[in-house]
Structure 1
């Protein structure tokens, strides 16, 4: 009787209020923090901490308040952040098998589909990564073959800079094209001219997608994919860009299939086609055309964007620190001279140049959050319980600026990588490529490229600002940290 009377008095507003209260209660029950789960700031009902900025400064503040292991809620999912060298090392190296899985990231899952090299898991990931690693390390004559490709491309790059005749120009896509040509030679068996609009367009589309992936609206897609896929925004541009890139890669693979000679493999695609024949009875390994497209995309993207961005930072630092640029050039002149190109064998005799490159990577902090991982088993880290399936981000930026590991973490200082005698000094906390079983597949190739491209450019040019106005050092936050677009002068030496 009382319930009936209560119902008689309730109007639409009352029903809506009751419904909201019930939903709020359900949200509180469903999203209770698990026992001994890493702490974090209060999360808003339904949406969690989606308004909390995720960058180096905000993460440093949260780590200061909650400790090196803390969590944020995005929608109904909790994400754990791991900061500082000791804790990141414990997660990636000491607990080698605890955080090797990749989560489903809706923004990228549309294209990468949980297959290929970067986003796959389990047996497929192990087989595909091993296959790619073997090809990268033993391509042609191995390291010597890769070095020759980079030396040839360095010449093309320097000639392109020389053609600017000391006038102001933006080096962005010339650098990207040069770096992209190295992985293109490995994957496709050939390079592309810098005026090849088809390949340049692919590089531009990829760069735009990487930048847009860091926007707040794009990240909302990961929280509410069902809603966001029907709304306009940068996430739609990302998906459109990847569709065009996939179309380009598919056409390249089809060309290879038309004139494929299994007895004379030319590149990664050719050896992959051969492996598809060998692995017909092992479908779980994933050797098929669909996976090949994604693997090719993985290699092109990972082998271009980060190295090209690092080189852009390097030129920017040289403009801001002309005294450092001069010391690099003096070392090159002393150890190499002007009659030949720098080669990899010169690196042990060029500790200052090597230190400058490493400091660009450290201070430039290209991939501050690494790539998301997932706990593939229940584990404990920093005294907190992290259940299987929890998404985890290891803050590489916090490692590269850890005050306990670096003498002047906020300052661009090549001395971080030199001992008291001026010899190159390896640092344990230098982890721009991450660590553990998911360490960057292209680390070896990237180091080759950075040394040979950078030393060749500094051998032949002095870089300075246009009209003495130094470009901004403020980074653009995308999936990577990249410099703002800038123009420079490349004065032949």
Structure 2
């Protein structure tokens, strides 16, 4: 009996020693514990710093631009700084996407969609989606017109609330529907009313789900057994509830398209996908794939741009002198007889610089969508084992003191040259780098410009007398979002 106990203890000791040992040549980082890895350290530093991207920045300060961790069962490498990030995004072996419990949970237990897949599936589905989105206006003048119409309707709605006087407007979800409409018209051939309560509830679930996780995949991805032993405490129950509501909404939309489908005629991306399903029934074009593609586009299309717009309004409240300069430029370039158009962008340099500074200062997506090493490789002298998740800190570029000098300051002039023209900067990458950069970048850029320019052209914004100034500190999650605040809208003419 004693012999069995000794052997058992020896086996356990060997298993623990194996579990806490790092791969040879793995990037520097804190020591990890059995099973949990660095999870307790992450929790401690999250309590201290409040945000995942600030934890990653703190670890980079300690260990360098490439930091090696383990969270639960997942190997995680944090990459910061210009040199290391450029190397990752320029190499094909880092083009993979992580595979794990959370990433499959949102895709019916499979690897589906366009955001969290790689290899031939990603190439095929991305190419198909972009080709057909372009057919329905993506990146073309028709898309600009659609965005301008949405901006005009938003302005009209706000004017109505003002009733020839100022109005105090809650900014939470203020831009969700109008931002989503531009994408949804191409994806599903329809738009939503700005007061659609059902959609507002659905988008609220999107926001909630983004706050439950971070770009590493979160606790459920790293320790999936928690979904069984602690479904409520781990957030699994809530996440599944959110996903089912999203799936039901998208499935109903797709089934309605199926009922009204005309052979050989595509009204939108969903129609084009359904035709492809009929032509190639044994291909990757399945209903679950279509639902996941729609989920990817719906969530990405409604979250980052609307959050950025909220932050843009927030900074206008905090920096009235910047708002005054915007009004002066809009009056000089656009005048007061019409609304801004995308064609005005080349001459509205200060407006564009303000948008860029909001994107830089806030970094709504402070960590890019995670990459995965598709094979054993090296990065800046360190071994990166196959299937390691690689997190790219966009925040580290946007807030680098050596490059920007005063990154904490909100100073739009940093993006203007001596003649007042826009000055591009390689360290400014709100949509990421490389082949895996944001799929909706063109739509996001045009939406941000037209919504922001139209609102600032029409209204003066101020902090309501009975409300405190909004805080630039927001909520942590996959993306950053501002805490609820109010703005007073006063028509300028």
TM score, norm. by length of structure 1: 0.92
RMSD: 2.0
- Which has the higher mean CA deviation after the structures are superposed, 155-164 or 324-333? 155-164
CA deviation digits over 1:214-253, x for unaligned, max 9?
499x822122112334421333212211110110000000
Q: How does 1:312-391 map to 2 (within 5 A)?
A: 312-391=310-389
- CA 1:229–1:152 in structure 2 vs 1: closer, same or farther (change >3 Å)? farther
User: Whole-Å Cα distance in 2 between the matches of residues 451 and 153 of structure 1?
Assistant: 13
- CA 1:19–1:484 in structure 2 vs 1: closer, same or farther (change >3 Å)? farther
SS at match of 1:488: strand
Q: Does the CA-based 8 Å contact 2:327-2:457 persist in structure 1?
A: yes
- CA 1:178–1:19 in structure 2 vs 1: closer, same or farther (change >3 Å)? farther
Tell me whether 1:135 sits opposite 2:132 in the alignment.
yes
User: Whole-Å Cα distance in 1 between the matches of residues 473 and 139 of structure 2?
Assistant: 38
Q: Does the CA-based 8 Å contact 1:85-1:402 persist in structure 2?
A: no
Give the Å deviation of 1:435: 1.1
SS at match of 2:387: coil
2:482 is aligned to 483
Q: Does the CA-based 8 Å contact 2:176-2:203 persist in structure 1?
A: yes
SS at match of 2:167: coil
Give the Å deviation of 1:290: 1.2
Q: How does 1:253-264 map to 2 (within 5 A)?
A: 253-264=254-265
User: Whole-Å Cα distance in 2 between the matches of residues 344 and 255 of structure 1?
Assistant: 34
Structure having the higher Rg? 1
Task: Give the ranges of 4+ consecutive aligned residues of structure 1 lying more than 4 Å apart after TM superposition.
Answer: 17-22
User: Whole-Å Cα distance in 2 between the matches of residues 215 and 383 of structure 1?
Assistant: 25
Q: How does 1:65-80 map to 2 (within 5 A)?
A: 65-80=62-77
TM score, norm. by length of structure 2: 0.92
SS at match of 2:94: coil
SS at match of 2:123: helix
1:420 is aligned to 418
SS at match of 2:169: coil
Give the Å deviation of 1:187: 1.1
CA deviation digits over 1:268-319, x for unaligned, max 9?
11111122233346x2xx1121101110111111111000000000000000
Consecutive unaligned residues in structure 1, runs of 5 or more: none
2:121 is aligned to 124
SS at match of 2:191: coil
1:46 is aligned to 35
1:35 is aligned to 24
User: Whole-Å Cα distance in 2 between the matches of residues 75 and 202 of structure 1?
Assistant: 31
User: Whole-Å Cα distance in 1 between the matches of residues 215 and 121 of structure 2?
Assistant: 31
User: Whole-Å Cα distance in 1 between the matches of residues 491 and 142 of structure 2?
Assistant: 28
1:458 is aligned to 456
1:202 is aligned to 202
CA deviation digits over 1:344-398, x for unaligned, max 9?
1111111111011011111111111111110012221111111221111111111
Q: Work out the number of aligned pairs and report it.
A: 476
